A and B are shown apart, each in its own frame.
Chain A
Amino acid sequence: MELILSIAIGIMVGSGIWLLLRPRTYQVIIGLTLVSYAVNLFIFTTGKLTTGAPPILKKGVATTLANYADPVPQALVLTAIVIGFATTALFLVVILALRGLSNTDHVDGTESQ
């Protein structure tokens, strides 16, 4: 399972970076979103993969990391997901403003020569 997840993260990062380097604004925003998903997954994996043991405390089960998943990375990633959405929205609006001002959707503001 670790292997699959690593490959998955790698593919998402690769696609995201490819899009980031492209000249059209829409590609950049999709790229950023992909990269942010991948990075969230990466941060999440710092807490080691466990299945079937969500950090919801149950009666009678000892509260150790052997019985539950690691809650700290999860809390971090939750924050990251929400703020990632906010910045995506902001970036979209910046793209729109750029589009309005320069009449093109090239990231440099002018069509390349």
Chain B
Amino acid sequence: MAGIIAIIGAIITLTFLPDVLAGNTVIQTLQWLPTYKLNLVFRMDGYAWLFSMLVTVMGALVVLYARYYMSPKDPVTRFYSFFLAFMGSMLGVVLSGNIIQLVIFWELTSLSSFMLIAYWNHRQDAKRGARMALTITAAGGFCLLAAMLMIGHVVGSYDLDVVLGSGDTLRNHPWYLSILILFALGALTKSAQFPFHFWLPNAMAAPTPVSAYLHSATMVKAGVFILARFWPVLADTAAWFWVIGMAGLCSLFLGAFVATFQRDMKAVLAYSTISHLGLITLLLGLNSKLALIAALFHMVNHATFKASLFMATGIVDHETGTRDLVLLSGLRKAMPITATLAVVAAAAMAGVPLLNGFISKEMFFAETLNLPDYLEVSTWLPVFAVLASAFSVAYSLRLIVQVFFGPKATDLPREPHEPPRWMLVPSAILVMLCLLIGMMPQTVIGPILASAAQAILGPALPDYSLAIWHGFNLPLTMSLIAMGGGILLTIILRPLQKRMPGQTPLLYRLDGRTFFDGLMNTIDTVAYQVMSLFSTRRLQPQVLWIVVITVVVTIMPLLLFEAWPKLVMRNIDLPFTLLWIIGACCAMGAAYQAKYNRFRSLVLLGGAGLCCSLTYLWLSAPDLALTQLVVEMVTTVLLLLGLRWLPRRMTTEPASDKGRAMVRRLRDMIIAVIAGVGMTVLTYLQLSRPRPEGVSSFYLEKALPEGGGSNVVNVLLVDFRGFDTYGEITVLSIVALTVYALLRRFRPPRESLKALEDRRFRQSGDTAAVDDDAELPRGTMLVPTVISRFIMPISTLIALFFLLRGHNLPGGGFVGGLIFAAAVILQYMMGGIRWVEDRSRIFPQYWIAAGLLMAGAASIFAWFAKLPFLSALAADLDLGPLGHLHLSSVMMFDLGVFAVVVGSTLFMLVALSHQSLRFYKKASAETADDNQEGNPISGNTPEAGLKRDTVDPPSPSATPNDQGAPSWN
């Protein structure tokens, strides 16, 4: 498996070989959203080619290395998949031709590196390190996105080519500074530069192949990659120098200083990475073309020797079981080849001549000397550079000397020996590269470097030479001083290191991780406090806010309104006024009584509803009046059914918080009054304005000729706007089913059950006399029950009458359905649930289904006649003596509506009424506990009236019976 992956990596590398050395840029665009100009653009120029080679070749080598490093217990498939994901996203960053796309791939690298660092996710330090890395790099990515958006806005396009050509526009724009800072945040967080460097040492908890790939060669290089990529656009200003250059300088020095005191080999390498990247960043910040070339060169070199060193560390760790510099010593004899490779790589890191590190260090020194007299820096920058180099020599030397030379270590966890050959091969290849580039730079890497530089700087490159020997000049002296100084430092610092291993003097108290953790904790606390201040779980404040905001939003236009109409007092219709005096009193009474006497409030609500219905009638809306009337009735029954489950009404206010309750009430009263007044004003305003242009005349004109009916409202509902009505009956069915489902699990509180039981005892005389087989229902109300038996067919007739005449006269499916449902409910009320259900053949759920199907069929019929959905088909039949019959598919639709309305209403109300039946039995069965599937039958001895019980439990259809469903099966 690993072999296949490595080969894939190699093939990818190979496909890039026939390349763009000629200086052309290869662009490939994949169309994605052309209308928004969002396309996937992949762009390869010399610079991108260099980096892609780096990424892919390194990837192949590390994969080979990892094959031998990972132990058989590790889930390698996960490792390789994340690895490849990372390689892909890194290539995406490098090859992006669109700056937004670049940011997307940037974030993908953050994500995949997170998964890789946390690979050994049973380890606490791995998880913590990964989280820290992700937080910092993702925050940086966010800043980078902001910067890219601003750049795109300033330049006018998100295409990289366009952006790269508009350097001056950007530099002179007033937004330049903020763009620069956001951009720097993005790049510096990714490359672990000061002050965002502390995530890198914590990310060393990753497996060593990951560190070798990510933290030396690719991911951290992404930051400097975009610094160089955007160099022609953003650089060449003082701000750039100060922000980027100084960050680089600090990292350079700090990294080198701290690295000399570390105890873990990987920590040394981590800080050294920070230091070398600081070097690159500083070079990029110097605003000089030669420095840019030096930076590019060092990017490649650093990748080679750092990765090789990480691999060597991994080998040591793998073979001996530890990376601790205090414990390790004298491994030269046990693993000679490893030692040689490590020595060469470390020498390259230190800048020893004949290796690639030396050449780039030389160029670095030369550039620090060539600064324009910018400010005060030009004098002591070279000094700092030399010092930092001295430290870097020191830590490289220490690493090698400590680990490989000296007496043989005695107390190592494992017995060290030479690793398998293939594990050394990647390291060897990299070291070979170091040597080759070091000895023959111009031949090996010259053209590639030139093309990369040309991609950034344009065809005219400044004069430089990659020769090894430039003569005895200042940079060479600086190198020699650095090397000497480094050796001295090693010797001087050795006793210090022995005394306090792992502790950096002066700096060990400033731990990046504790700072980071502290910051995260503060953010958490603040967020929690804000949340507890503004959010609530209680309903009342939420409703209050909703109401207040609605009122405010609606009132505002009213207050700004200019042309107030005059109050017209002429046609005060006295009966109408009287009607609404009653109605208003009912409404206010309902509001007043709702707390203390629920029944009264319900009745008053019914009164208000009746007034509404009369209003509709008065104002020429007969259909509405009918519907409102019956709905009013059904609502009253509904609420009555629910009343029994609410707790005893309160007669007095609990004395505890009278004051606060008074304030609350006052506040609510004020809001209500404002809302009421506002609504009044709004309605009056609306009524006094002229009628707007609308579609009503269309419907009035077309109802009879095209709809075939004279009741325009009904024609609207079932024909013109039939689809809306279809949606409405669907909603009705859904609500009915929901009500049923909610009531299946209904568990009443104890006190209601107790009240039920009391009632049972009180009324036992009457209910004992209930005989389920009787012809007429006998129970409490004898006369009404007899009458109701005769009323049923008449009510059915009336309901059908309203249904059938709906198309031409007030009526229709809704009204008819509601009337029929009300009639059935009347039966329930008179005869009792059991009596009715023994005789009833109305199964509400079937009616709902049938209704929906009929309405659907009526709509689909039109397709057979090649008409659009919901067109009406009409046929006229001449039935001789019976007269003329006008049939229409609309009638079937209306019938469907009828059925659904009947079904849903009955379903809801009957489900509610069954609750008391269900708990009636339970209360009598003396099991006050919640017993859901429980005992429908046993323990149900006593009353004759309740004897009539259901089917045996084993039959599955029985259980729904006692769940509150109507007792049909």
Contacts and interface: CB of A to CB of B under 8 A. Distances in A.
A4 B677 CA distance: 13
Closest 6 pairs between A and B when the two form their complex, measured CB to CB = A14-B676, A10-B680, A18-B672, A15-B591, A57-B710, A6-B683
B467 interface: no
A11 B567 contact: no
Interface string B769-810: 000000000000000000000000000000000000000111
Contact of A34 (B577, B608, B623, B728): B608
Contacts of B540: 21, 23, 107-108
B576 interface: yes
B684 A2 contact: yes
Interface in A31-75: 31, 33-34, 37-38, 40-42, 44-58, 63-65, 68-72, 74-75
A95 B187 CA distance: 56
B584 interface: yes
A1 B573 contact: yes
B612 A11 contact: no
A19 to B, nearest CB: 5
A3 B732 contact: no
A65 B594 CA distance: 42
Contacts of A105: 646-647
B647 A99 contact: yes
B582 to A, nearest CB: 10
Nearest to A52: B620
B2 interface: no
B732 A17 contact: no
Contact of A51 (B539, B620, B746): B620
Interface in B600-642: 601-602, 605, 608-609, 611-612, 615-616, 618-624, 627-628, 631, 634-635, 638-639, 642
- The interface residues of chain A, by DSSP majority, are classed as helix
13 contacts: A2-B687, A3-B572, A5-B615, A8-B583, A8-B584, A10-B681, A25-B646, A26-B594, A50-B619, A51-B618, A57-B710, A71-B696, A84-B631
Contact of B749 (A40, A69, A100): A100
Nearest to B672: A18
B430 to A, nearest CB: 66
A39 to B, nearest CB: 9
Q: Which of A16, A70, A82, A95 has the most CB of B within 10 A?
A: A82
Contacts of B695: 72
A71 B712 contact: yes
Given A15-B587, A19-B594, A56 B724 contact: no
Contacts of A86: 731-732, 735-736, 904, 908
Contact of B638 (A38, A57, A74, A92): A92
Nearest to A86: B735
A69 B625 CA distance: 14
Contacts of A94: 742
Contacts of B646: 25-26, 95, 99, 105
A42 B678 CA distance: 13
Contact of A18 (B580, B668, B697, B728): B668
Interface stretch (B77-85, B399-407, B698-706): B698-706
Contacts of A27: 594-595
B543 interface: yes
A14 B362 CA distance: 85
Nearest to B728: A79
B623 A78 contact: yes
A101 B196 CA distance: 52
Contacts of A85: 631, 634-635, 638, 905
Contacts of A58: 710
Contact of A30 (B543, B573, B590, B700): B590
B165 to A, nearest CB: 59
A37 B612 contact: yes
B679 A44 contact: no
B742 A55 contact: no
Number of chain A interface residues as a range: 35 or more
A16 to B, nearest CB: 8
Interface of B: 537-540, 543-544, 547, 567-569, 571-573, 576-577, 580, 583-584, 587-588, 590-591, 594-595, 598, 601-602, 605, 608-609, 611-612, 615-616, 618-624, 627-628, 631, 634-635, 638-639, 642, 645-647, 657, 668-669, 671-673, 675-684, 686-688, 691, 694-697, 699-701, 703-704, 710-713, 716-717, 721, 724-725, 728, 731-732, 735-736, 738-739, 742-743, 745-750, 808-810, 814, 818, 901, 904-905, 908-909, 912, 915
Contacts of B539: 107-109
A26 B593 CA distance: 11
B580 A75 contact: no
A65 B711 contact: no
Contacts of B608: 12, 34, 37
A18 B591 contact: yes
B699 A4 contact: no
A58 to B, nearest CB: 8
Contacts of A107: 538-540, 543
Nearest to A30: B594
Given A11-B587, A90-B738, A56 B696 contact: no
Given A18-B591, A63-B701, A79-B724, A44 B616 contact: yes
Contacts of A87: 735
A12 to B, nearest CB: 5
Contacts of A54: 620-622, 810
Given A3-B569, A88-B635, A108-B539, A21 B547 contact: yes
B504 to A, nearest CB: 55
A56 B642 contact: no
Contacts of A81: 624, 627-628, 631
A8 to B, nearest CB: 4
Contacts of A22: 594-595, 668
A41 B347 CA distance: 90
A44 B635 contact: no
Given A21-B668, A26-B601, 7 more contacts: A3-B572, A12-B676, A33-B635, A74-B623, A88-B639, A95-B642, A104-B647
Contacts of B657: 112
Given A72-B695, A94-B742, A20 B642 contact: no
A103 B646 CA distance: 9
A95 B832 CA distance: 25
A108 B672 CA distance: 21
A45 B683 contact: yes
Contacts of B747: 100-101
B624 to A, nearest CB: 6
Nearest to B577: A4
A44 to B, nearest CB: 7
Contact of A20 (B547, B683, B712, B731): B547
B622 A45 contact: no
A9 B673 CA distance: 12
Contacts of A63: 697, 700-701, 703-704
Contacts of B736: 86
A2 B688 contact: yes
A100 B746 contact: yes
B543 A21 contact: yes
Nearest to B588: A15
Contacts of B678: 10
Given A23-B540, A56-B808, A51 B631 contact: no
A50 B687 CA distance: 11
B653 to A, nearest CB: 12
B676 A17 contact: yes
A55 B679 contact: no
Contact of A82 (B631, B673, B683): B631
A58 B809 CA distance: 10
A96 B631 CA distance: 21
A11 B680 CA distance: 8
A33 B682 CA distance: 20
Contacts of A19: 591, 594
B672 A21 contact: yes
Contacts of B668: 18, 21-22
